[in-house]
Amino acid sequence: MYDFLIVGAGFSGAVLAERLASQLNKKICVIDKRDHICGNAYDHYNNDGILIHKYGPHWFHTNSDDVFNYLSIFTEWIFHDHIIRSNVNGKLHPFPINRNTLNSFFDVNLKSEEEAKEFIEAKRKKNLNPKNSEEMVLSLLGKELYENFYLNYTLKQWNIHPRELAASVTARIPVRYNTKECYFNDKYQAMPKYGYNKLFEKLLAHKNITVLLGKDFFEIEKEIKFDKLIYTGAIDEFFDNCFGKLPYRSLEFEHETLEREYFQECQQVNYPNENRFTRIVEWKHATHQQSEKTSIMRELPVAYKKGREKFYPIPMASNNDILKEYQSEAEKLNSVIFCGRLAEYKYYNMDQVIARSLKIFSNLAKN
């Protein structure tokens, strides 16, 4: 008999398991339908001995001291500015857009933040209340940068026009007038020193935690005795899609190892205007691994269908009504907690789901 059954061994489930076991001495069973822990952050050494991420690049970043200090119990870090460039018209430009991007893309020579700001002011289509991703970028950067760096990437990534997507999607990307290069503005930008999987092994190592892999909740639900359920899978699946299926976006990955030390100049190059893939990732830049070989990965957005993973909830207004129906059903269930990117249908980063799990834990600890 377990105090909690936790469905999903990703960050949401693993953090809650660790806290409940170590702080409240609860007995926990964590199950995952995959054959590994770590959720979408799963990393492993490939046949060529290079540490790669199975489900796309996971660059850790956070502004939260609480999240960073908590994870630091389980890992040391490689502090690292996440550097990303965008290949537009065959040329690599700094991305997010900064003063150097303006200089290289428009072939100008802006020398200060003030000059860069003035330059953009003349291009942007000011809008105090951008209602979608297109309006958001046009209001920050204007038409040329939108069309070259955002429009096609967004169409390819979501198969939805930026006009239909929430403004928050493209608002994830900062805009800078200085020459700072890192992808995120957060206080902490780092990679777990020995990888995510090792971090998860430590999270789940407590004697009160049992981990069962390759087990689908809906198939073994009745075999496990538990008091409360923490569910981190897709919310519509939990209710047997009774209000209809929520849409998700999926991905395919092309992994390749090359007999050379490096392939590209930084950990990620975006290809907004390429037909098939959105980005090429080269792991060694972020993990600082030394090897004569290098592994890269092309990421191809695809429709979700059975047999593929539900990687992205789709942030568009038309999905809100059906989501609300599921949320109101979820609220009626006192002994089930829904948390995480799939269970809340929210485009959360890793630090956000960790913060969310820590918050849920502190509420549970009060009761």
The nearer residue to ligand UDP, 94 or 233, going by C-beta atoms, is: 94
H runs (alpha helix) in 216-349: 217-220, 235-238, 284-287, 320-332
Which tokens hold the place of 248? Answer: 């998700």
Q: How far is the CB of 150 from ligand FAD (least distance, A)?
A: 18
| 98 is a site residue for ligand UDP (CB under 6 A) | no
Q: Site residues for ligand FAD, window 272-311 (CB under 6 A)?
A: 311
Q: How far is the CB of 324 from ligand UDP (least distance, A)?
A: 24
- Strands across the sheet containing 91-95: 91-95, 84-88, 268-270, 279-282, 294-303, 248-258, 312-313
Under the binding rule (CB under 6 A), the answer on residue 152 touching ligand FAD is: no
- The least CB distance from residue 37 to ligand FAD, in Å, is 8
Packing angle between helix 113-121 and helix 99-106, nearest 10 degrees?
Answer: 60
Residues 188-217 touching ligand FAD, rule: CB under 6 A, are 216-217
Give the 3-state secondary structure of 89-125.
Answer: CCEEEEECCCHHHHHHHHCCCCCCHHHHHHHHHCCCC
Q: Write out the binding residues for ligand FAD, residues 16-45 only, by CB under 6 A.
A: 31-34, 39-41
Q: Is 246 helix (H, G, I), strand (E, B) or coil?
A: coil
| Residue with Cβ nearer ligand FAD (150 or 217) | 217
Q: Which is nearer to ligand FAD, 4 or 217 (CB)?
A: 217
**Positive or negative, the Cα torsion across 24, 30, 36, 40?**
negative
Q: Least CB distance from residue 206 to ligand UDP, whole Å?
A: 31
Distance CA 264, CA 267 (A): 8
**Minimum CB distance to ligand UDP smaller for 289 or for 352:** 352
The CB-of-291 to ligand UDP minimum distance in angstroms stands at: 25
Site size with ligand FAD, rule: CB under 6 A: 34
Contacted by 68, from ligand FAD, ligand UDP, none: CB < 5 to 8 Å by type: none
Binding mask 29-68 for ligand UDP (x = CB under 6 A): ----------------------------------------
Interface map 137-176 toward ligand UDP (x if CB under 6 A): ------------xx--xx--x-----------xx-xx---
CA distances to 12, 132, 153, 168, 218 from 327, rounded to whole Å, are 18, 24, 31, 21, 19
Residue closer to ligand UDP, measured from CB, 230 or 286: 286
Name which of 72, 29, 13, 30 is nearest 356 in CA terms: 13
Cα dihedral across residues 232, 234, 237, 239: positive or negative: positive
3-state secondary structure 149-171: HHHHHHHHHHCCCHHHCCHHHHC
The contact mask relative to ligand UDP for 253-282 (x = CB under 6 A, - = no) is -----------------x-x----------
- Identify the residue among 182, 342, 360, 364 touching ligand FAD (CB under 6 A): 342
Distance between CA atoms of residues 296 and 257, nearest Å: 6
Q: Does residue 280 contact residue 271 with C-beta atoms inside 8 Å?
A: yes
Hey, what are 314's tokens?
Answer: 């789709």
The answer to whether residue 247 forms part of the interface with ligand UDP (CB under 6 A) is: no
- DSSP-based three-state secondary structure for 235: helix
In 3D, which of 179, 155, 181, 182 has the Cα closest to residue 169?
155
Q: Of 224 and 300, which has the nearer Cβ to ligand UDP?
A: 300
Give yes or no for residue 313 binding ligand FAD (CB under 6 A).
no
Q: Is 174 in the site for ligand FAD (CB under 6 A)?
A: no
CA dihedral 216, 17, 52, 233 (to 10 degrees): 40
Residues forming the site for ligand UDP (CB under 6 A): 86, 95, 149-150, 153-154, 157, 169-170, 172-173, 270, 272
Residues forming the site for ligand FAD (CB under 6 A): 7-13, 31-34, 39-41, 55-59, 216-218, 232-233, 251, 311, 340-342, 348-351, 353
